[in-house]
Amino acid sequence: MMKNTPTTDNFPPGFIWGSATAAAQVEGAAWEDGKEDSVWDAFARIPGNVLNGDTPATAVDHYHRMPQDVALMKQLGLDSYRFSTSWARIRPGGRDVNPKGLEFYSRLVDELLEAGILPWLTLYHWDLPQGLEDAGGWANRDTAYRFAEYAQDVYAALGDRVRHWTTFNEPFCSSLLGYGSGVHAPGRQDPRAAVAAVHHQHLAHGMAVTELRELGAEQIGITLNLSNSIPRDPADPVDREAARLFDSLQNRIFLEPVLRGAYPEDSLKDLEPFGLHDLIRPGDMETIGAPIDFLGVNHYHDDLISGHPDTSGADGHGGGGARPKASPWVGAEHITFPSRGLPRTAMNWEVNPDGLRKLLVRLSQEYPELPPLYITENGAAYDDVVSGEGTVPDADRTRFILDHVQAVSAAIEQGADVRGYFVWSLLDNFEWSWGYEKRFGIIHVDYQTQVRTIKDSGLAYSRFAAAVRNGNSPAPEVPAAAPVG
């Protein structure tokens, strides 16, 4: 159980306190300065794909409001800002480099450095140029080679100022969800294409790591979304087998190729009918297993897994659009996600901070080859209300964040080498197929006016990070923020 007063012990010197966003979720300016459609622009235009017909076209207008957003980060005292670059802005249609696209990120990096904030760059947060999807997307091996070229372009423009390079964010989503379930762009429902996307994204990661390393990048890693797979009844072999399958598809087919240069034996067997063997060419696994300097861990909730039908309606894996969804669990479509009665967020995801501690300790114990860890995303969606005084009293989110930070502290105490925590998200934003319905920000955005207001959770997070930085002295007060237009 988490303590009521969060302790600032255990965090090593230099621990990074940050916050994260992604290009397609915040930038807007979907067709400005040469940018063309990403798969998310195209997917969102199809009625039924995104709740309320929302699109990322305007998002929270970060493309135009970037200096003001960096000022808010500075006001919160963030050490680092994790953002992604848009491939469709930098190489529209997947074709030639668009200098104006690169200029935006160059200005962003300068603005961050000027504010004393460490830029933490992700090359791929799901927004493939639609032109490349038209050529087969991630089911096509060639896309991996195009990604390595794009990585070089971004390094050429920003490598003199950016030290931290992340290849992919949550490849689980951009492969199994995007090509298997249809809940994410490009909306395909083809299990063989989903498995091909997994392998080709791994390959793209490995090729980019090699290129970036040769070019001189200091810190290179990948971010995976990982979950504890908990059998509903550990004594029931059907539930245990379902939990094994879930663990394979959610965690191990991503962790092990990247960390060990090999797919797990059981996953290879499970995925043979979907063509995994045929996709692997000589040299691929060595490329994919190129050493990395950090692993980013995104964690929101655990998963209670059963192999039996469930009627509780607890499944928190549904997307937001109206379109019928297929299962992303290739070869394991029968697995279910019953409820164990824990509180849930507005995403219907269970709240269980101790799951984060368990996950970090498991990673540290099971993977001797593990590099240092950073929590690159953790946070919660709740239905916020702006008070008459213009504040956002989001007590549930505040509790969620502080309890999870305590879970990180406990994991460090138990030997996990965790060096940073990025709260998701800096700003309310486009939550994929949920559109603008789900708010994850520590800064509230009024979508009509684009006015930003720091939520109470943002103030509490800022105070906590300051207390750690100041060597456990009492947390300084962060002045209540006036809304920024």
Q: Most distant CA pair in the chain: distance in Å?
A: 63
Give 439 or 463: the residue with its C-beta nearer to ligand IFM: 439
Least separation in angstroms between CB 305 and ligand IFM: 20
One-letter amino acid for residue 112 of the chain: L
- 298 lines the binding site for ligand IFM (CB under 6 A): yes
Q: Is 377 a catalytic residue?
A: yes
Least separation in angstroms between CB 442 and ligand IFM: 13
Q: Encoding tokens for residue 282?
A: 């000589």
- 302 lines the binding site for ligand IFM (CB under 6 A): no
Confirm if 106 and 69 have CB atoms less than 8 A apart.
Answer: no
Dist. CA 115–CA 77, nearest whole Å: 10
Question: How far lies 423's CA from each of 42, 440, 449, 468, 473, in Å?
Answer: 29, 9, 24, 16, 22
Q: Encoding tokens for residue 135?
A: 């050529």
* Site string (154-193) toward ligand IFM, x via CB under 6 A: ----------------x-----------------------
Q: Encoding tokens for residue 1?
A: 């159980």
- 403 lines the binding site for ligand IFM (CB under 6 A): no
Confirm if 225 and 247 have CB atoms less than 8 A apart.
Answer: no
Least separation in angstroms between CB 26 and ligand IFM: 10
- 431 lines the binding site for ligand IFM (CB under 6 A): yes
Give 61 or 110: the residue with its C-beta nearer to ligand IFM: 61
Confirm if 51 and 321 have CB atoms less than 8 A apart.
Answer: yes
Give 111 or 431: the residue with its C-beta nearer to ligand IFM: 431
Dist. CA 360–CA 416, nearest whole Å: 6
Give 59 or 132: the residue with its C-beta nearer to ligand IFM: 59
- 376 lines the binding site for ligand IFM (CB under 6 A): no
Q: Encoding tokens for residue 376?
A: 């690159």
List the one residue from 105, 179, 424, 461 that touches ligand IFM (CB under 6 A): 424
Active-site entry in 256, 350, 377, 431: 377
- 27 lines the binding site for ligand IFM (CB under 6 A): no
Dist. CA 85–CA 107, nearest whole Å: 12
Q: Extract the runs of DSSP E, i.e. beta strands, from 280-389.
A: 294-298, 303-305, 373-377
Task: Identify residues 64-123 at the interface with ligand IFM (CB under 6 A).
Answer: none
Which helix (H) or strand (E) element contains residue 6?
none
Give 298 or 398: the residue with its C-beta nearer to ligand IFM: 298
- 22 lines the binding site for ligand IFM (CB under 6 A): yes
- 445 lines the binding site for ligand IFM (CB under 6 A): no
Confirm if 86 and 23 have CB atoms less than 8 A apart.
Answer: yes
Least separation in angstroms between CB 479 and ligand IFM: 29
Least separation in angstroms between CB 173 and ligand IFM: 7
Least separation in angstroms between CB 473 and ligand IFM: 33
Confirm if 170 and 224 have CB atoms less than 8 A apart.
Answer: yes
Pairing of strands 443-445, 452-454: antiparallel
Residues carrying an active site annotation: 377
Residues that bind ligand IFM (CB under 6 A): 22, 25, 170, 298, 377, 424, 431, 440
